[in-house]
Structure 1
Amino acid sequence: MKLNHFLSLLFFIIISTSLFAQKVTLSGSVKDSLQTPMPYANVIAKPKDVSKNLQFAITDNEGYYKLLLEKGDTISISISYLGYKPVEHQFIALKTTKKDFVLQQSSEQLDEVVIEMPVTVRGDTTTYKTDKFVNGTERKLKNVLKKLPGVEVSKNGTVTVQGKKVTKMLVDGKKFFGGNSKLAVENIPANAVGNIEVIDNYNEVSFLKGLTDSDEMAMNIKLKEDKKRFLFGDVEAGKGNNDFYKTSANLFYYSPKTNVNFIGNINNIGEKTFTFRDYMSFSGGMNAIFSGNFKWKGGDFSQFLESKDLQTSSQKFGALNITKTATSKLDVSGYAIFSNTNTSSFVENQNEYTTFTEQRTNKTATDNLLGIGNLNIEYTPNNKEKWYARTQVKRTNNTKINTVASLINANTNTIATDRDLTATYMNQNIEWHKRQNDKHTFSSIFNYVFDKSDKTNYWQTQDAILQGLIPADTNQELLRIHQLKNTKEQNIDAIFKHFWEINNSNHIYTTLGNKFLNEDFVSDDFQTLDNGTTNNFSSDDFGNDLNLKLNDFFVGLHYKFRAGIFTLKQGVELHNYKWKLDKQTHLENNKWIVLPDFLAKIEFNKSKKITINYNLKTSFSDVDKFANRFYLQSYNSVFKGNETLENNLYHAARIYYSRFSLYRGLMLFANLNFSKQIKGVRNTVDFNDINQFLTVKMFDNPSEDLHGNIHLEKSIKNIKYKFDVGFSNNKYLQELNGNTQTNKNNGYNYEVGFETLFDNFPTIEVGVSRDIGKFISSNATSKFITTEPFVTVDYDFLKGFIFNFDYKLSNYQNKTLGQKNVYEIANTTLSYKKEDAAWSYKISVQNMFNTQFKQSNSFSDYLISDSKTFILPRIIMFSIGYNL
């Protein structure tokens, strides 16, 4: 029955798309009077029938264009390019035709020439006149962006332009919530959007552009003139079956000097406004020229971001962003984010260890609270100097109540676990940039981080756990184990950079810096007896109190030069590492390390590039890995660190190819990544049934990893075909019960599909994805296959109605055990908003087929796990919205 659902949908799509295939092609080239190809010229096709949409194309780097036109239409073709006289051509679309055009340079003043140009390109900035592409049915920014040529918006809110990811989102030149793209595309109303600028090789400090290798791209949303001093936005409220609900608000106030944005959402349908991906985009905050000098951990905050596959979920989310232009030289901005989620989950696992199998059920209830505050001061004394002062504070309080039932060889053990985490993170940095003259530019940063995490864990069971690993008194009615585990980290970093531009083709970059880390780790494990007294484990080598101080002094020299289509940068950094362990252990070490790196870019043109880079990298473990006394990791594992650890050292190399052509309807990306550890820290484990004793040690050549991906999109007529394939081959050493073995973890995945691009027909995407995972150890091989056909439909019809539908059929197979599971997930929405009306109405169905659970698998060094994760039931909801 489930397969019949998908086949019926597929049959409908094939029959429907075939009815809309009557198209002809007009193609050719645009050149100037010297027969030089003109890239990024505008080619516009206006049907004589004004009720039909105009068609639009941009010439590629060779000056070629292509238009798909409805057969039989009378078309007026207009070709325009800034500084050249526009050309008009009448065309009746009876058959596929080639037509070349030659533009003559204009002798008139530019302000006297009226040229209708939907897209203009000046250097690294591309400007879209959105009113040439929209029709008024768009609700949010993402709907506008999807209609712009070369612009893609993914389901998770990532925006790409000609295949390149947008890393900063601006509104009228100011960062929107720190530059987050998802919050922008999902919440900014479409009716407020004016022109859109895309800025390649972006740097917020204009005179640093060209000095950084970050290759960032920014998108600037320019508001319509009537929104320049205006309160706008929308609110929505919905009520569903079984007490499900949702309310949301997106409010914006803009004036020339003050911008205020508010986003709020309260729901219990599992809809997450804020995800771990979003959280990471709010971590850190400094210019891209320092990106290679910092590795952001961002604090211990990932716990509050639970899986979307939940049995119950309620969320309260609020975000406020304020930007104020205080003077012509001083801007002040900041944002505050609040998130509170309460969730419950239920997971059934079949865990394959090396010598036994465990059946486990896992019930969890969480209450997660997060707050983020950010203040940014930007001072520009003149056009050659820039100062920043940034402050970010994050605070979280997370509680988790967990009950595990473990079945091994007909013996059941039930353990209740209560966890509580309180974490505080503060980051303060001051940044300075100075363009001394055409040859010399200076940048420096001072950065301070305070990161404190306090955890308490409590395990309770009637059964004995961790026998032989903890000194517990088992002659008790209940076994009650407590743990306190606290970490505190402070970083003080100072970096100075000098950029010497010898000429346009030769640069020398010098870096001088010092990074200091002071990290404390404290753990205390003990048992509460039935009579209320305490059995502390410290006398049996439990309990840690360790301080780690790590100082990294470094100097770097890099040479960058350009020659034709090549840009090469090579250099080296010399690091002196000093680390010291105090309190429970006293140890000092000092080491010099040379870290070379290499970067090559081959830019055939703006739409075809190859990037190759190599780095020798190093890293140090956190302080808890150095702690040489025991502490509990979970109800079935005990960990002990290793004070003799040193730094990891590994090679990292990558090659990336990109190709984009509007004329050929082609988008191609391919990347290959390789890493190999020369020296590395890995866990070793000893098993006693399910109980585990873990420690860490240094290995020579402990792992190597090779993974790659190819993504291809090709448009033919009104159909876009997509192909995505990836692989990963990982080989690593594992020490298990005193024996060292080599394990392999190989994975392959692909996705093929097509998407319709008709004007007056639903946008339909059909495809299938497949994931194949194989885990190979010295004595066993496990293989998993997940195949997922999918369909999505987006349809605007009858002047105000919008229909959305997505469907996925998942076929999961554990080839090793012969297990199979098939389930289907479908969601649909029908909304209505009359043009120029304030009110809108929506009916939505989530989990249409009322699927109970999803199935998946995971690997670790010593465990293969098969999981059933239970999810929210069918939700039917009616919503009413109001546009301000």
Structure 2
Amino acid sequence: MIKLLFSVCFLFSLPLIAQKITLSGEVRDSLLTPLTSANIIAKPKDLNQNLSFTVTDDKGRYLLKLDKNKVYTISISFMGYEQINHEIKLTKNTKKDFFLSEAKNQLDEVVIDMPMILKKDTIVYNTKYFVTGEERKLKNILRKLPGVEVEKNGDIIVRGKKVTKLLVEGKKFFGGGTKLAVENIPADAVKKVVVLDNYNEVAFLKKFSDSDEMAMNIELKEDKKRFVFGDLQTGKGNKDYYKTHANLFYYSPKTNINFIGNLNNIAEQTFTIKDYLNFSGGINAVFNGNFNYHNRDFSQFIEPQDILSSKQYFNAINITKTTSNKMDISGYAIFSHSISENFTQNLNEYSFFTENRESRNEINNLLGIGKLNMDYNPSFEEQWYIRTQIKKNKNSRTNFISSEVNNNINNINTNNKSKAWYTNQNIEWHKKQSQNHTFSSTINYTYDNDSPTSFWSTSQPILQGLIPVDLLQDNFTLQQLKENEKHHLHTVFKDFWTINNENHIYSTIGNTYQNEKFISKDSQILDDGSENDFGLFEFNNSTDFKLNDFFIGLHYKWRRGIFTFKQGVYIHRYNWQVKQETSLSNKKWVFLPDFSLKIEFNKSKKLQLNYNLKSNFSDVSKLADKFLLKSYNSLFRGNETLENELFHNLGVRYSRLSLFRGLLFTASANYSKKIMGFRNAVKFDGVNQLLTLQMAENPSEDWRLNSTIRKRINKVRYKLSGNYFNSKYLQNIDNIDVINENQNYSFNIGAETLFDDFPNIEAGFKSSLGNFTSNNSPSRFTVSEPYLDIKYDFLKSFLFLFDYRHYSYQNKSQSLKNTYNISNASISYKKEDSPWSFKIDVQNLFNTQFKQSNAFSEYLISDTKTYILPRIFMFSIGYNL
């Protein structure tokens, strides 16, 4: 099937490619100097045809693909120069140069109205030059902009770099994540798309922050700046499947209100783990590296996608209010409730035995997130930010496990209940004190409390010899109560001294105070309801951990031509105390040097090198020196003597973009080596494990290489990407030191057609190879994935979508092989001047029962079958406001 569709795609595109001829040349000024990023538009006389567009490269070169024997008006424009309009009809490949003259008394408004403007760190797209009127959402517009790509997961890539913040009219849209924006903002509301590289929300900090963030700001049309728009959708499927969805947006110059709601039982995720991370907040980039920003990981409570059954309720509201020209108040509230069931089958390979395990989970998650921001700008030289965030979750999970080892079967029921509170208060102050000095300061406080309760029930004894169970019972029930409470207070003050435009000195002083408490109680609930407390057998932890980190830093940054270099050091004074039955105190000085080098050969070719020595301390639960139940077959015992880890981190990134050649190339390499850090130690007693942590020299070393090439030829864009990961780490198994090595190779080769009036097809092949070696015993896994996506807009009102994945999975160590197909399809109808839309879609077209994958951990290699929802047919009706 895949080979046939590849052939159809290739043959279908041949006649269309053959009809195109090339117009190329150079654009220069009156002094024959090449003009970089000049706009060239080819407007066809036939209004039914789409215009062609390009910009000149760093040598002033351009290239257009035009239809043979068609009449075009070629418009060449560049800021500050008179526009040229030239009519042309091509019969063969032609080379033509253009020369622009400086404009006289030209208004900025006229100059700015160009398809695309490139400045040093800014790209402005005027969307009216790229749209055809058939676009439905923001993502449809973005995919037509030169140098912009939208991934299936909602990520936006501009010139090979990921957009990390999305703004609408200069305000963060639902926390700044891209997925909700590209999927929900109507295309007909968008006027301009502005890309801001090295983004900082405080404009006068941009040159100091060394931010690697890229932001995208969506400017709305004038008639959409005070308007209610959005869409409603409801659908009914076979059996009892259903979904409803609502996106409502109100924009005005001073008030923005956005609401998104979703109710479904088809595992359609409105709020994903990536979205959660975008909503989790953070601090300004100038404080990066000054302290480890503590943020409770609530993502574990978000429903997984591969499940047997699901019910999901999601509501989110975001409000931004400009109260004056100095004050903005914004906030959002998110509520998510999901009830789901999943089922997995595992083949787990331990060092000396194999376990067959079946696991069924019933999960009920409640998650709420609220945030309030106040941005106060008393002047252009001073800004205040006050942020308050609250998160709360309530989670219950019932787990049924059947474990078979050496023909012995044990059935275990596990019940977990958890409640967690997290609050964060952050105050930031930024002041441009003078032409030479800029100050930044922050106070950040977090409170985190988690109190889970766990029960393990079985008809057979578990962890025999490791826990003091009463064996004279009909049933064996273990109970665990835990509480983890953390208080973190961070204060930082920075002075940015601008000696001149090419020389800066940055100084930092700060302090981090941590107070963490961990309590655990393990016991056996007897048949008569009484309790067998394990406290007399080195169980039941009560651990207090206090850490004070005082630090100062000094950095020097200079720029010479295409080079920007920054070097410096942070000096930390650590004082910490671990209090349990006994008290352990310690203190030390640690020096952490770092440097960075940026080489900007031109706007399209950049190289960046970064190095730093990092340090971090353990979580309090890993310092608890008594036993702790981890699962039905494992115990953990902490180590109060753990100190701070130290590790080198080195990264290099190169990017090259040529619109003239239609080429994008990016490559990166990262190296990390722990020179002092934690290593895992495990002792086995059959299937049972006793886990702990130890300090060790050079416990791990990691390499990661990534490279991507994208090349456009006529109406086809080709892509080749490759990744390599190598990790070596030391662990102790049954008092024997073992070096494990995990190697993974992967590549993706594909092609995508870019037709305007014909079906667009994306086809490719992904493959990954994993090699895991432990104690000279190798294991090998391969996964192959041919894929195909089809998108076809036809008869002006219909849209057909189809995606297909063929997975071939093989565990060569166990001679296991499995293949399965995942496919979805939909067809929708929406008349251009009608608010109504209709859609039929099929999920899991081939009714695949499960997916298969593998995973490595410190102690086992696991093959997993994850069962998924069956084939679902859905008919939906939508209404656009």
Q: Is the shorter-chain TM-score for this pair beyond 0.5, marking a shared fold?
A: yes
**Contact 2:635 2:690 (8 Å CA) reproduced:** yes
Which residue of the partner structure matches residue 10 of structure 1?
A: 6
Tell me if 1:565 matches 2:571.
no
Question: Counterpart of 2:204 in 1: which secondary structure?
Answer: helix
Alpha-carbon distance, 1:297 to partner: 4.2
Which of residues 80, 84, 96 in structure 2 aligns to 1:83? 80
Which residue of the partner structure matches residue 880 of structure 1?
A: 877
Tell me if 1:312 matches 2:323.
no
Alpha-carbon distance, 1:124 to partner: 3.0
Worse overlay, 239-248 or 163-172:
163-172
Question: Counterpart of 2:192 in 1: which secondary structure?
Answer: strand
Which residue of the partner structure matches residue 246 of structure 1?
A: 243
Q: Deviations over 1:566-619 (max 9, x none)?
A: 000000000001110124330100010000001000011121111101111111
Q: CA separation in 2, counterparts of 1:51 and 1:81?
A: 27
Which residue of the partner structure matches residue 503 of structure 1?
A: 500
Q: CA separation in 2, counterparts of 1:217 and 1:279?
A: 19
Q: 1:339 to 1:115 in 2, by over 3 A?
A: closer
Q: Deviations over 1:428-470 (max 9, x none)?
A: 0110011011100000000000011111110000011101111
Q: CA separation in 1, counterparts of 2:285 and 2:112?
A: 37
Alpha-carbon distance, 1:747 to partner: 0.7
Q: CA separation in 2, counterparts of 1:291 and 1:829?
A: 44
Which of residues 193, 199, 208 in structure 1 aligns to 2:190? 193
Equivalent residue runs for 1:109-124 within 5 Å:
109-110=106-107, 117-124=114-121
Alpha-carbon distance, 1:343 to partner: 1.2
Q: Deviations over 1:757-807 (max 9, x none)?
A: 122222211100001001111241100000000011122111111111110
Q: 1:113 to 1:338 in 2, by over 3 A?
A: closer
Which of residues 357, 361, 369 in structure 2 aligns to 1:372? 369
Which residue of the partner structure matches residue 870 of structure 1?
A: 867
Q: CA separation in 2, counterparts of 1:68 and 1:703?
A: 52
TM-score by length of 1: 0.98
Alpha-carbon distance, 1:112 to partner: 8.9
Alpha-carbon distance, 1:113 to partner: 5.5
Which residue of the partner structure matches residue 581 of structure 1?
A: 578
Q: CA separation in 2, counterparts of 1:155 and 1:68?
A: 28
Which residue of the partner structure matches residue 487 of structure 1?
A: 484
Which residue of the partner structure matches residue 777 of structure 1?
A: 774
Which residue of the partner structure matches residue 680 of structure 2?
A: 683
Alpha-carbon distance, 1:11 to partner: 2.7
Tell me if 1:522 matches 2:492.
no
Equivalent residue runs for 1:352-751 within 5 Å:
352-751=349-748
Q: CA separation in 2, counterparts of 1:200 and 1:410?
A: 60
Q: 1:418 to 1:111 in 2, by over 3 A?
A: closer
Q: CA separation in 2, counterparts of 1:294 and 1:259?
A: 34
Alpha-carbon distance, 1:488 to partner: 0.4
**Contact 1:361 1:404 (8 Å CA) reproduced:** yes
Worse overlay, 310-319 or 591-600:
310-319
Q: CA separation in 1, counterparts of 2:514 and 2:814?
A: 48
Q: CA separation in 1, counterparts of 2:690 and 2:125?
A: 60
Question: Counterpart of 1:477 in 2: which secondary structure?
Answer: coil
Which residue of the partner structure matches residue 202 of structure 2?
A: 205
Equivalent residue runs for 1:810-821 within 5 Å:
810-821=807-818
Alpha-carbon distance, 1:425 to partner: 0.6
**Contact 2:120 2:603 (8 Å CA) reproduced:** no
Q: 1:257 to 1:136 in 2, by over 3 A?
A: same
Tell me if 1:336 matches 2:328.
no
**Contact 2:486 2:516 (8 Å CA) reproduced:** yes
Q: CA separation in 2, counterparts of 1:24 and 1:150?
A: 22
Q: CA separation in 1, counterparts of 2:144 and 2:271?
A: 26
Which of residues 28, 33, 38 in structure 1 aligns to 2:35? 38
Which residue of the partner structure matches residue 223 of structure 1?
A: 220
Q: CA separation in 2, counterparts of 1:540 and 1:729?
A: 41
Q: CA separation in 2, counterparts of 1:27 and 1:800?
A: 36
Which residue of the partner structure matches residue 835 of structure 2?
A: 838
Alpha-carbon distance, 1:201 to partner: 2.2
Alpha-carbon distance, 1:6 to partner: 2.1
Q: 1:863 to 1:184 in 2, by over 3 A?
A: same
What residue identity is the alignment partner of 2:274? R
Question: Counterpart of 1:459 in 2: which secondary structure?
Answer: strand
Which residue of the partner structure matches residue 753 of structure 1?
A: 750
**Contact 1:523 1:544 (8 Å CA) reproduced:** yes
Which residue of the partner structure matches residue 105 of structure 1?
A: 102
User: What number of residue pairs does the alignment pair up?
Assistant: 880
What residue identity is the alignment partner of 2:125? Y
Which residue of the partner structure matches residue 765 of structure 1?
A: 762
Q: CA separation in 2, counterparts of 1:747 and 1:604?
A: 33
Q: CA separation in 2, counterparts of 1:23 and 1:603?
A: 35
Worse overlay, 340-349 or 757-766:
757-766
**Contact 1:303 1:398 (8 Å CA) reproduced:** no
Q: 1:781 to 1:132 in 2, by over 3 A?
A: same
**Contact 2:23 2:65 (8 Å CA) reproduced:** yes
Which residue of the partner structure matches residue 141 of structure 1?
A: 138
What residue identity is the alignment partner of 2:36? P
Q: 1:126 to 1:530 in 2, by over 3 A?
A: same
Q: CA separation in 2, counterparts of 1:300 and 1:536?
A: 31
**Contact 1:86 1:115 (8 Å CA) reproduced:** no
What is the aligned-residue RMSD (CA, Å)?
A: 1.2
Alpha-carbon distance, 1:10 to partner: 2.2
**Contact 2:294 2:446 (8 Å CA) reproduced:** no
Alpha-carbon distance, 1:114 to partner: 7.4
**Contact 1:610 1:655 (8 Å CA) reproduced:** yes
Alpha-carbon distance, 1:111 to partner: 5.8
Question: Counterpart of 2:179 in 1: which secondary structure?
Answer: helix
Show structure 2 runs of 5+ residues with no match: none
TM-score by length of 2: 0.99
Question: Counterpart of 1:19 in 2: which secondary structure?
Answer: helix
Question: Counterpart of 2:211 in 1: which secondary structure?
Answer: coil
Sequence identity percentage: 56
Q: Deviations over 1:14-63 (max 9, x none)?
A: 22222322211111111111111111111000112111011111112221
Show structure 1 runs of 5+ residues with no match: none
Alpha-carbon distance, 1:115 to partner: 7.9
Q: CA separation in 2, counterparts of 1:814 and 1:124?
A: 47
Q: CA separation in 1, counterparts of 2:584 and 2:63?
A: 69
Q: Deviations over 1:67-125 (max 9, x none)?
A: 11122222111111122111122222322222111111112332696785111234433
Q: CA separation in 2, counterparts of 1:63 and 1:114?
A: 19
Q: CA separation in 2, counterparts of 1:338 and 1:19?
A: 52
Q: CA separation in 2, counterparts of 1:311 and 1:111?
A: 59
Q: CA separation in 2, counterparts of 1:62 and 1:79?
A: 16
**Contact 1:285 1:390 (8 Å CA) reproduced:** no
Q: CA separation in 2, counterparts of 1:351 and 1:566?
A: 52
Alpha-carbon distance, 1:164 to partner: 2.1
Which residue of the partner structure matches residue 828 of structure 1?
A: 825
What residue identity is the alignment partner of 1:776? T
Q: CA separation in 2, counterparts of 1:536 and 1:115?
A: 75
Worse overlay, 752-761 or 477-486:
752-761
Q: CA separation in 2, counterparts of 1:246 and 1:136?
A: 28
**Contact 2:260 2:317 (8 Å CA) reproduced:** yes
What residue identity is the alignment partner of 1:8? L
